[in-house]
Structure 1
Amino acid sequence: MQRPLIIALDFPSSVEVNTFLTKFEEEKLFVKVGMELFYQEGPSIIYSLKEKGHSVFLDLKLHDIPNTVGSAMKGIARLGVDIINVHAAGGSAMMNSAIEGLEAGTHAGQKRPMCIAVTQLTSTTEQVMNDEIWISKSLDDTVLHYASMAKRSGLDGVVCSSLEVPRLIENIGEDFVTVTPGIRLATDEVGDQARVVTPEKARLLGSRAIVVGRSITKAEQPLEAYHRINADWEGVTV
């Protein structure tokens, strides 16, 4: 995988998505479809985006018993998405089943979707993790443990904060993909995120991909915002 800027299409329906994408008619994008959009539109939104030539990260964070996740992944593989994810808290058996399901559902001669695991949401603080989720370890240690388990289970990478990427690179290696949400411009409001960095900082920390939502989708000029953020991410001057 290259180092994409993934736009989070956090819209309630395909109508809003199509209106937004009209501003990007000359661009082939990498986009994220999450629960809000997928639960309203279903597979049709994936087919529509792929027909337009966009790459798709289907962000459903599967977390269930191994058999259920494996069966779900067989169907997801047939959608033709580029990335799908599970939650690492489901454990190694579940993650193994996810890979088995993806491989079983991928058509012969095609590459299976990349599968990554959520470690801890970028809206989660260490205090919340300790006091509410009842994980007594440090946030950094928990993310590393989940990432290591995902690696052993055959996954391609993880979702984490860019702040945790250097330690993952040191302990797991650069080839293990790190997809990092919680990206904001220095002038943006943090919103409901807790562990945030700028696109430039994410690049310097070693992130392999960034996920950007409101900084682009809520901008007055989304295309200009996209190019500005992408320039910061790639380290080029515009």
Structure 2
Amino acid sequence: MNLDSSIVAAFTPTGKLRASINLGNPILANRDPGSGAPFGVSVDLARAFAAKLNVELELVVFDAASKSVQAVSEERADFGFFAVDPLRGETIAFTAPYVLIEGFYLVRADSPVRSNRDVDQAHNRVVVGKGSAYDLFLTRELKSAQIVRAPTSPSVVQTFVDQHLEVAAGVKQQLEADAQRTAGLRLLDERFMVIQQAMGTPKSRGPAAAGALNAFVEEMKASGFVADALARHGIAGASVAPAA
């Protein structure tokens, strides 16, 4: 992938390449408990893209997807890592996805909710991370159930427990990990959606920049970089997206 100076300039209006990193999705990014430094698949990709452009990288870190999206939409960051969604697509040019992530429902062990079909009922309250892909998707899809929004995706299960809600929705691995720490919870047996996780840049940066970012993603998938990053960080349950 050859990048001319105009594309590099489009990505670095401040002189640095600013990557928006969302810690609300533990499959893609976390913070080291010792150093506090962010790490994960999205951080690895951000560093690889900065190396491709031969520019200095600055990580702009957020605790929720909505904040990360807003930073790129408002051009406080030059690119980021997001679940593809049409609402976000109004201001962000997405690449093809690089990772596919499953979304699941969590309920109490004694809940009458046994399948996904049981969720969309007027008496159910479904908690999601505010502004997450699950929030955006379920806001469109659920017709009867009430949506309750936790501040961040990692706080969904705690909100579910504290407020005695009926259903929690989110990343399968996050829900599984939280369920192991809290007795009496279970995941439903089937996913309700598949998240297409992509990179994105402000649409204002132009089609050439968007095309270069998409080409980078395809290169990272084809070379095995994404698969290696998932393995290196011990991520199970997420898969490399097929070539676009």
Scaled by the length of structure 2, the TM-score of the pair is 0.24
Larger radius of gyration: 2
Higher RCO (CA 8 Å, separation ≥ 6 residues):
2
Of Structure 1 and Structure 2, which has the larger fraction of its residues in helix? 1
Name the structure with the higher strand share: 2
